[in-house]
Structure 1
Amino acid sequence: CAVKVTGSEVTAHCHNPHSRTDRVRLHVECARWWDVDSDGAPVDAAPARGVELTGRCWKEVGSAWVSHRPG
C-alpha cells in the first residue's frame, strides 16, 4: 500500500495482486497526546482490485500504516 500524509489527513491506496482476498486496515497515530489515534475498519481488497482507505487527526499525524490479513 502507498500511504500519503497531507497535514492532518491520511490516504492509503492498496492494490491486491494476489489470487485471494486481502483484508487491509488503516492505523493512524496522532502526534498530539490529546488527539485520538484510530484504527479503521477492515476492508476487503478482492483479487486484482484496489481500495482507498482514509483517516485523520485533529492536528498533525505522527505515523500511519496499513495492516494486512488474508480475507
Structure 2
Amino acid sequence: MVRHFGDLIKKETGSTALDYIQSRLIDEAKSKMFDHAKSISDVATELGFKYQQHFTRLFKQKVGMTPNEFRNLN
C-alpha cells in the first residue's frame, strides 16, 4: 500500500505535513540569520519567500518574535 507524504509525516512526527515543513523552514531561517552580512530580506528570498512580510509573519507566528528580534538576541 502506498502512503501519502502527509500520512507518513503525521505517523512519524505527530505533526501535519505543513507544520513539519514550516518547522524545518524556520530552523533553516534561524541558522541563516547568524550570518549578519545577510539581511532579513536576503534570508527570506533564499528560503523561497517572494515577500519579506510573509516570512516575517510566519517567523513571528512560529517563534514568538520577529526575525530582527531573534537576530538581536543572538
TM-score normalised to the size of structure 2?
Answer: 0.26
Q: Which has the higher helix share?
A: 2
Q: Which has the higher strand share?
A: 1
Larger radius of gyration: 2
TM-score normalised to the size of structure 1?
Answer: 0.27
